[in-house]
Amino acid sequence: MFAEGCARDSSAGHRPEELPENAGAAEESKGDKEDPLMEVYVASRESIPAWYPRGQSPAILENGIAIVPEKPVPAIGNDGNSECAGMGYEAFLRFIRKSARTLADRGFNNVQLRDSGDFVWDTEASFAFSQGFRTLNKKQCLEFTPRVSADEEFQTLLKIVKWVRDTIDLPGNILNPDSYMKELLLLRDLAGGRFSVRKISGEELASKGYEGIVTVGKGSSIPPCLYVLDYAPSGNDAPVFASLVGKGITFDTGGYSLKPSSYMKSMHSDMGGSATVAGALALLAATGFPGRVKAYLACAENMISGSAMRIGDIIHYRNGVSAVVDNTDAEGRLVLADALITAGEDGGYILDAATLTGAAKTALGREYHAVLALEDFMAETFLKAARETHEYAWRLPLEEFHLDLVKSGLADITNSVNDEPGATTAAAFLARFVKDPAKWAHIDLSASYQKTPASGYGLGARGHGIRSIARFVKDLWQIR
């Protein structure tokens, strides 16, 4: 795949001793002149000149940029794919992503991957490179090898992941509950028009009893809504195999439990759960999954105004559960509750995904998504799916007795509990709205967004979790 606008400049690279720390960046200051197109390949230590200093990953040589791991690179199989050897393949993919980030940080914006005698680029390594190479507000071009470029499923994955990352990174003045429709229609097109998109808002939202979404969104001048994505390859009469639920808070001030500015800065990304499950559904649709899958995106802005929700407000949900608002900044679970009730009416498996708690990030950092479920089978199936797709997930505790932690004297439950495990109590709140807990998993998206460049990612959305969720649904289908 050759990105539009990429300059096919065959200019030679630099020797390490000639490479400034911001190499390539100087090209940007030369007006209309394009950055040179640099070829990147993976090489073993034995394949590069002896003068290359050890401990430095990218070797900028006259024939391109060699990415050189300290340990032996994975062997090349007969099919051209990489096999685990030397360093573990997971560690190798991390190394590739971090090397791509290094090149992007040094200003190499036009890159072409090529095979070498030591390594043939496969789709996983190519995907890892693309993830690390991406830089917000930069014009970049990345060309893959002909064999990888010819893989249609890989190209589809790239497009959908790009949509997810780009959508999460849209600022709040561009993406809001109403304008989200435009982005979802673009996603539908990427999936070949294979799913429908419906918006429930205004009087319809209120009349159907979506009290949680209405309550959270009433502080904003932009009305809240629920988007329903429906992928039904065998018709709308087919049973729903899986329902995906996503938190779509397009901007979160915290409400009257106001966030400090430093925490609010990245809150345009608080709709990451909705984009992630939408992307997973699109990936299933684009790859021809045989079962029916629906996604529910609960969207609102959590703002402050004379009509905003207050501390102490009580929400009465359609399933008969009442919830008191003890913290207006714990709004995600309030909107997810409505969507979970509706998803339960579908009768299939349910997975919800949300950038829900800081507690999950405190526990796991920004590498792993947190997985919580009342049924071991559901948690273990998701963890397996994450491993299969080279993504990171870790289980946090959720047991039946944890549901007692969210009980309240003012209502059935509270949306905020002090001095208790925050990720677990958030999941315990959601469990009260799940019709069949044995068929439900909750994903707290700790690794959804990168506030500062780290771990081989630049600033912004990661797109992490889309592949895990799609594989999770596929694995459930196989063992149904």
Residues carrying an active site annotation: 259, 333
Q: Which residues contact 200 (CB under 8 A, 6 or more apart)?
A: 208, 210, 225, 226, 227, 228
Alpha helix segments (H runs only) across 354-455: 358-364, 376-388, 422-431
**CA proximity to 471, closest of 390, 386, 377:** 386
- What is the phi/psi pair of residue 213, to 5°? -65, -45
Q: Which residues contact 170 (CB under 8 A, 6 or more apart)?
A: 183, 268
Residue 443 structure tokens? 């994903």
Q: Which residues contact 346 (CB under 8 A, 6 or more apart)?
A: 240, 243, 294
If you ran DSSP here, which 8-state letter would residue 112 be given? E
Q: DSSP 3-state assignment of 191?
A: coil
**CA proximity to 251, closest of 210, 216, 296:** 216
Q: What number of other Cβ atoms are within 10 A of residue 354's Cβ?
A: 31
* Beta-carbon-side half-sphere exposure of residue 389 (alpha carbons within 13 Å): 25
The bridge status of strand 292-302 relative to strand 240-252 is: parallel
Partners of 294 in the β-ladder: 230, 243
CA distance 18 to 377: 56
Q: Where are the beta strands (DSSP E) in 202-262?
A: 225-231, 240-252
**CA proximity to 136, closest of 465, 451, 467, 472:** 451
Place of tokens 């190479």: 133
Please calculate the CA angle 234-236-240 and round it to the nearest 5 degrees. Answer: 80
Q: What number of other Cβ atoms are within 10 A of residue 206's Cβ?
A: 16
Q: DSSP 3-state assignment of 77?
A: coil
Q: Quick one: which H or E segment has residue 302?
A: strand 292-302
Q: At what angle do helices 152-168 and 180-190 cross, to 10 degrees?
A: 170
Q: DSSP 3-state assignment of 322?
A: strand
Cβ atoms of residues 64 and 41 within 8 Å: yes
